[in-house]
Amino acid sequence: MPEGDTVRRIADGLQLLVGERLVAESPHPRGASTGIAALVDGRVLESVEARGKSLLLRFEGSVTVRSHLRLSGRWRIEPRGAARSGRPWLILRGAEWEAVQWNGPVLTLGEAPAARLGPDLLADDADLDAIARRVRMAADGRPVGEVLVDQHVVAGVGNMWLAELLWQARLSPWLPVSAIDDVELLRGLAWARQAMRVAVNGSRPLRAVYRRAGRPCPRCSAPVRSGGLGDANRTAYWCERCQPG
């Protein structure tokens, strides 16, 4: 699933179309059924914003399109008229460039779902101390690995960044938030914010534990483990020796 840094990179690419009056079409029937292409066709794209894993495209006339990629969706920025096979959900065509959205799965109108998100870890004004306090207040007995991927608590962290930030901070995904001190929690959040910001402009760091179950931990050589976490049964990755608890 694309995480906050991927969505921020898409938003940066879409800035090419901001200020243009766009031609919109939906070749795929599921995209067409949303009615979004018909609504935004001929409107000026006024701004594009990434908020956590949501992408918000604001058009003239107070029309906002929200895109969430979940597991299958993707955006491509291509020269106008580029050859392609298949049927995208949405094409936004400018004078020289066009944005192409494939595989949905979420294209909706309005910002209400994004307004309910927690603070974006990648936001320029992100306050890590405030985010750490929010994590503690929202924990309600849940383990830290479950709280940090709750997008209503902090937006943008998915399974990959969760695994890596907890490894960096030497915290088990199953530790109760109440068992973690402020220094440990802030260390993980600060590392994730910095690494995600670097990833927006370049590439992600080499993975220490994510999708490396059974392979040696790069810090202590113990085998990396994996297991289902929380009600959503997300797959967590961790080193039992480096991340006790």
Provide the annotated active-site residues.
2-3, 53, 234
With the C-alpha atoms ordered 205, 207, 208, 209, is the resulting torsion angle positive or negative? positive
Relative orientation angle of helices 182-201 and 128-138, to the nearest 10 degrees = 120
Whether 135 contacts 156, CB under 8 Å: no
Burial of 94 (0-12, 13-18, 19+ CB in 10 A): middle
Q: What letters, b where the CB count within 10 A reaches 16 and e where it falls short, cover 11-28?
A: beebebbeebebbbebeb
**Cβ neighbours, 10 Å, residue 125:** 6
